[in-house]
Amino acid sequence: MKNTALTEKHIALGAKMVPFAGYNMPVQYEGVKAEHDCVRNAVGVFDVSHMGEFKLKGAKALDLIQSVTSNDASKMVNGQAQYSCLPNNEGGIVDDLLVYKVNDQEYYLVVNASNIEKDWNWISKHNTFGVEMTNQSEATSLLAVQGPKAAAALQSLTDVNLADMKYYTFTVGTFAGVPNVVISATGYTGAGGFELYFDNEHANHIWDAIFKAGAAYGIKPIGLAARDTLRLEMGFCLYGNDINDTTSPIEAGLGWITKFTKEFTNSANLKAQKEAGVKRKLVAFELVDKGIPRHDYEIVDAGGKKIGIVTSGTMSPSMNIAIGLGYVPTEFSAPGSEIFIAVRDKALKAKVVTLPFYKK
Amino acid sequence: MNIPANLKYTKDHEWLRVEGDIAYVGITDFAQRELGDIVFVEIETVGDSLDKETVFGTVEAVKTVSDLFMPVSGEVMEVNSAIGSNPELVNTDPYGKGWMIKVKLTNTADLAGLLSSDDYQKLVH
């Protein structure tokens, strides 16, 4: 099992460590609810250095990205980030990812930890454009500093005006005295904040600087458990749960990042699917009855017949209601539709709702 | 780790406070820490006579769900209604306000098979 550059910090802080995507990762420190609330109301720091980072360089870097991703990267300006996915040829998704445009000849791709090797092989296989690809995953640390007080907590560490950065933009600057830190106004929590990419050798220094600067703002370390409840309250998809090799981006509600303004892997089939309509859809639901939906629980109709599957579920710490995502036949996908979740020996009533679950 | 000396324990991380042929049952401090923030306790076996080691309910934390096992054979006389509306009591006061069920023992000989606080201490360390 691999460690991040900060594993010893997490252990010293008393984190509960779990194996995740081949890494020894902190799942919680103080407790998932306290950590969740800290990010929603103040600011928290996640070590997500297990994520993968690829650098793509060359005159045809955009051509490669356009051919393998579903979103339209030609629309990006320098310093912009874009959420996208890598469709496969069978109608599913290889991975979801962030594309960062440094300039016309240089891009970064940020991918899920569990898919680093799969994505690398997939993109390499499609690299008929002579693009120079570098896998920087092992050498790169990534801290997500998230929450409404993130900009204030970090501002003393950089000359970059953090409060003025627009969502899904980034800049490369000096942070805590370390040059060439990628400062990105992105995140997976819906709470606002930044993601910071830098070389492993600076990890301990930057971690300490962030906690010192953020102390007055109540900054805390946050584990993967709260990362999951935070992203689920927003309805953000988690690869391996809500999307995978067999789910289409159209079914998953990712039509907004699937742009038929260009050709890409399986684009003709996905376009036909979008035009014809999909048979099943990923929906958000809230439980009406008491209970908690979990990944892989069955979704049933009023008669008890299986109609789908829960892909993510939890008790929402912000709202204290049970929420989930799952695939259902399209006729059950309209907001207000009544569905049932099979929890142990019972079918609990739930209703389809619109995202996000958590509205500020 | 809080392991009161006056209670009996099981390897499933439950405790019993025995008063004659009545026992109060809950989960241990170790168990609540392992589970994390508890958000729902479901016990629908009031009035049922259950054998030792059968499931009498479930406890759901944010990330996990775990069955609750009868530490002894007996009739479930009462469920702690306070944990229905405040499941976090199981985290904050596992041996007190976070108790789960009151059981009428059908076989007091079951008590001999339970762990002492010293035995339980060894199990979790």
H or E stretch at B23: strand B22-27
So where are chain A's domains? 7-49+138-233, 279-360
Instruction: Specify if B65 maps to a domain.
Output: yes
pLDDT score of A221 more than 90: yes
CATH number of A7-49+138-233: 3.30.1360.120
Average confidence score pLDDT of chain A: 97
Domain at A279-360, CATH class: mainly beta
Quickly count: other Cβ atoms within 10 Å of residue A159's Cβ.
9
Show the beta-strand stretches assigned E in chain A: 16-20, 23-28, 44-47, 52-57, 80-87, 93-103, 106-111, 132-135, 140-146, 170-175, 178-184, 193-199, 220-221, 280-287, 298-300, 306-315, 322-329, 338-343, 346-353
User: A344: which chain B residues are within 8 Å (Cβ-Cβ)?
Assistant: 58
The span from the CA of B1 to the CA of B117, in Å, is: 12
For β-strands A346-353 and A280-287, DSSP reports them as antiparallel
Contact by Cβ (8 Å): A313, A269: no
Q: With left for phi above 0 and alpha for psi between -120 and 50, is residue A253 left, alpha or beta?
A: left
CATH of residue B41's domain is 2.40.50.100
Query: What tens digit of pLDDT does each residue of A235-277 get?
Result: 999 999 999 999 999 999 999 999 999 999 999 999 999 999 9
Residue in A258, A280, A255 with CA at minimum distance from that of residue A352: A280
Nearest 5 degrees, angle CA A69-CA A70-CA A73?
70
Q: What is the pLDDT of residue A124?
A: 98
Rg of chain B over all Cα atoms, to the nearest angstrom: 13
Query: What tens digit of pLDDT does each residue of A25-54 get?
Result: 999 999 999 999 999 999 999 999 999 999
Q: What is the pLDDT of residue A143?
A: 98
Instruction: Take residue A58 and report the two structure tokens written for it.
Output: 């060359």
Instruction: Specify if B27 maps to a domain.
Output: yes
Residue B96, domain extent: 8-109
Q: What is the mean pLDDT of residues A155-179?
A: 98
Quick check: A317 contacting B, CB < 8 Å?
Answer: yes
Average confidence score pLDDT of chain B: 95
pLDDT score of A360 more than 90: no
Residue in A53, A140, A59, A70 with CA at minimum distance from that of residue A106: A59
* Residue B40 to residue A28, Cβ atoms within 8 A: no
Instruction: Specify if B21 maps to a domain.
Output: yes
Number of folded domains that form chain B: 1
pLDDT score of A341 more than 90: yes
Could you tell me which residues come within 8 angstroms of residue A34 by beta carbon, excluding any fewer than 6 positions away?
A220
Note the ipTM here.
Answer: 0.84
Query: What tens digit of pLDDT does each residue of B89-104 get?
Result: 999 999 999 999 999 9
Interface test with B, best of A315, A343, A345, A348 (most B CBs within 10 A): A315
Nearest to B37 among A32, A290, A344 (CB): A32
Instruction: Specify if B120 maps to a domain.
Output: no
Q: What is the mean pLDDT of residues A133-151?
A: 98
A1 pLDDT band (50/70/90 cuts)?
very high
pLDDT score of B26 more than 90: yes
User: B37: which chain A residues are within 8 Å (Cβ-Cβ)?
Assistant: 31-33, 317
Q: What is the pLDDT of residue B125?
A: 84
B1 pLDDT band (50/70/90 cuts)?
confident
Contact by Cβ (8 Å): A274, A317: no
Q: Closest chain A residue to B57 measured between Cα atoms? A: A344
Cis peptide upstream of residue A356 (ω within 30 degrees of 0): yes
Instruction: Specify if B44 maps to a domain.
Output: yes
A176 pLDDT band (50/70/90 cuts)?
very high
